[in-house]
Structure 1
Amino acid sequence: MKTPTPTQQDSTYARLRQWVTVGQFLPGERLKIHAIAEQLGVGVMPVRAALQRLAAEGALVNVPHSGMIVPKLSLAEFDDVLQTRLLLEGEAAERGTHRLDAAGVAELLALEQQMRDALKVNDAKGYLDANELFHLRLYQAAASPTLLSLIETVWLKVGPLSNKLFEVPASLRVINEAHGDAVMALRLKDSAGVRRAIEKDLFVAGQFLRPFCAG
């Protein structure tokens, strides 16, 4: 059997990590290594290695005789994650405001429009992909690798729930509002306003997701 290259292992891990973050895997889902390998066009070894890395980060649980399972968050766990996100992402948003240039603001505006368009046609994947990139670009602008790493690790815990937003019709009318508020504040270099908008975004989405938590 051919040993996968480090590059292949890393790219497989990055792809699966992103899938967890945007909710491509659902809470309680058992992941099938061969099916994932076929979907990615790689061997089972890099997939197995990637899943083990994700389990070490707490994104997955290795259950004896069942394999890798996407964990279900309890309500207490979800609330803890949400409070952590408010602290970390609010700080990253405020820092990023001062560093984001005109091109960066334009990119976020385009992503906000993509989210609007996705909501019009109930495109969960399109919305969640654009949403992740919107937040990622803003937080990358903060130029704090440590802060960004913490945020991305926390995303792994809540990402699998994110698709549930599209099971609540009321959420689709409001979940993108805060992104528009954030872009307006960014244009004014209003860092406190951007922070409030991001915190509002997380809080509003969180209220729609809480009922889907276990226990």
Structure 2
Amino acid sequence: MSSAGLSYCRHLIKIPAKIQYGKFRTQQLLCSPKTTILMVGSPSYERRSSLNADFHKPPTHEIVYRKIREMILFGELAPGQAVTIQGLVTDLDAGMTPVREAIRRLTAEGALQFQGNRRVSVPELTLAQLDELAFARQAIEPQLAFLAAQKITPAAISRLESIDDSLNAAVRRGDVKAYLEHNHRFHTTLYEQAEAGILFAIAQMLLLRGGPSLRVVCGRLGTNGLPDKHLQALSALRSGSPEAVANAIRDDVNQGIEQIRMTLSPPGV
């Protein structure tokens, strides 16, 4: 190769200048005025990797939204319990702006309501609202289960079995928060298999509206008073019967709704 060609190649390839103690110290040679090849382990490569990780990290307002949403879903914020916006800022170690944005989104979804004096609370369901919630859940969730059963893989069924095992363990030790988390995870993991984005989004909203009231049920009955139909759904999934899966989920939803109804009904009704 001519000296001119060799000189050109040196500008195309980035090579280590020295290897010391197992680490590369590199020269940065340009392939072109706009292109650089980075060696794995070089400082430039590590900086680029860090930038990529930051690029894929959810924005702060999204992280705060998810945290408050979980507080609602899993009982840290009970129906009727008022909290201050400043209190959420302190508890979440977040800025005022992302907390306000998260509250705005959750209020639009019906999961929070303003109380005035910079306070918000989780709405308490009325019996009429519970009837609406029951109608919507009975229409949406069995259909998602039916669609999921047609597409689900053995690996996904194994994940659901593992989640249900964790749920049952939480029931045995009386861990309400873990019970609520695993119950929600079981349903959402199943519904995701349907690959029906519109129905799934509606189901997520419905679970968010009903989750806090299920926490009230746990407080009154304890976790041992919360039977479900997950085993029936799993058995139907293994046998490949979409109709039976849909029926099991419908029964599971109805059972939960009736438990909530008991906590909302006046004594003696």
- TM-score w.r.t. the length of structure 2 is 0.73
Cα deviations by residue, 1:18-39 (Å, 9 ceiling, x for unpaired): 3323333111111222332333
* Runs of 5+ unmatched residues, structure 2: 1-56
Which stretch shifts more, 88-97 or 34-43?
34-43
Q: Does 1:182 align with 2:233?
A: yes
Task: Return 5+ residue gaps in structure 1 as ranges.
Answer: none
Bigger strand fraction: 2
Instruction: Give the 3-state SS of the residue equivalent to 1:71 in structure 2.
Output: coil
Contact kept in structure 2, 1:59 and 1:156, CA below 8 Å? yes
Mapping 1:114-153, distance limit 5 Å: 114-153=166-205
Q: Using the alignment, how far apart are the partners of 2:220 and 2:116 within structure 1?
A: 34
Q: Kindly provide the amino acid, as one letter, of the partner of residue 115 in structure 1.
A: L
* Matched ranges for 1:10-89 at <5 A: 10-65=62-117, 67-89=119-141
Percent identity (aligned) = 27
Contact 2:217 2:263 in 1 (8 A): no
Distance of 1:109 and 1:20 partners within structure 2: 25
- Alignment-derived partner of residue 191 in structure 1: 242
SS in 2 for 1:79: helix
Q: Secondary structure at the match of 1:63?
A: strand
Deviation string 1:76-110 (CA, Å, 9 cap, x unpaired) is 11121012101100100110111111110000001
Cα distance change of structure 1 residues 170 and 23 upon mapping to structure 2, 3 Å threshold: closer
RMSD of aligned C-alpha atoms?
2.0
Opposite residue 62 of structure 2, the aligned amino acid is D
Task: Tell which structure's C-alpha radius of gyration is larger.
Answer: 2
- How far the C-alpha of 1:158 sits from its partner, in A, is 1.1
- The residue identity in structure 2 corresponding to 1:188 is S
Is 2:254 the partner of 1:211? Answer: no
Secondary structure at 1:206 match in 2: helix
- Describe the shift of the 1:18–1:174 C-alpha distance in structure 2 as closer, same or farther (beyond 3 A): closer
Q: 1:117 is paired with a residue of what secondary structure? A: helix
1:181 partner letter? Q
Mapped to 1, the partners of 2:82 and 2:155 lie a distance apart of 41
Give the distance between the partners of 1:119 and 1:29, measured in 2 at CA. 25
- 8 A contact 1:30–1:66 mirrored in 2: no
d(CA) in 1 for partners of 2:127, 2:118: 24
Contact 1:72 1:213 in 2 (8 A): no
Q: Distance in 1 between matches of 2:224 and 2:259?
A: 10
8 A contact 1:119–1:127 mirrored in 2: yes
**Structure 2 counterpart of 1:95, from 142, 147, 152:** 147
* Secondary structure of 2:114 counterpart: strand
Q: Residue 202 of structure 1 corresponds to which residue in structure 2?
A: 253
Q: Which amino acid aligns with 2:85?
A: I
Matched AA of 2:241:
D
Whether the aligned pair in 2 keeps the contact of 1:78 and 1:213 (CA below 8 Å) is: no
Shift of 1:6: 7.4
In the TM superposition, what whole-angstrom CA distance separates every residue of 1:142-169 from its partner, at most 9, and x where no partner exists? 0011111111112222111111222344
1:107 aligns with 2:140: no
Does 1 or 2 have the higher relative contact order (CA < 8 Å, sep 6+)? 1
Output the CA distance in 2 between the equivalents of 1:111 and 1:96. 17
Structure in which a larger fraction of residues adopt helix = 1
